[in-house]
Amino acid sequence: MFGDMMSQMQEMQDQMQKQLAAQSFTAEAGPVSVTCTGAREITNVKINTAEIDLDDAEGLEDLIVVATNRALEKAAEYEASQAGSMMNDMLPGGLGGMLGQ
């Protein structure tokens, strides 16, 4: 019984990782847009060069950091909500609600 439960948990975790990798999250900071997957892999960075001061490298670097952090935060929030749902699904009928899930 315990082995079956562990196997089920592993399958659910594997499924969640695949689902996370398939999700895409984009965030912007001014002219900078960063996209990442739910697995927190940066997949794209766009910079609208018409809206930046090409002489202000430090400002551009700051915008890239901000947009990246925002995209990663969106991915983390999604992962947390999915993990909560997964745990709620694993608990016997109605117990998830008792635990605030």
Residues in the chain: 101
pLDDT of 57 higher than 60 = yes
Nearest to 34 by CA among 77, 78, 72, 62: 72
> How many domains does one find in the chain?
1
Judge whether 87 lies within some domain.
no
Residue 67 near residue 48 (C-beta atoms within 8 A): no
DSSP 52: S
pTM value is: 0.75
Q: Is residue 48 part of a domain?
A: yes
Residue 54: inside a domain: yes
Cα dihedral 30, 49, 67, 83, rounded to 10, equals 120
Q: List the CATH number of the domain containing 38.
A: 3.30.1310.10
Distance CA 19, CA 29 (A): 26
Q: What is the pLDDT of residue 93?
A: 60
Span 63-75, pLDDT tens digits? 999 999 999 999 9
Q: What is the pLDDT of residues 17-46, one digit of tens each?
A: 888 889 999 999 999 999 999 999 999 999
pLDDT for residue 33: 98
Asked whether residue 29 is assigned to any structural domain, the reply reads yes
User: Would you say residue 71 lies in a domain?
Assistant: yes
Start-to-end C-alpha separation, the chain: 25
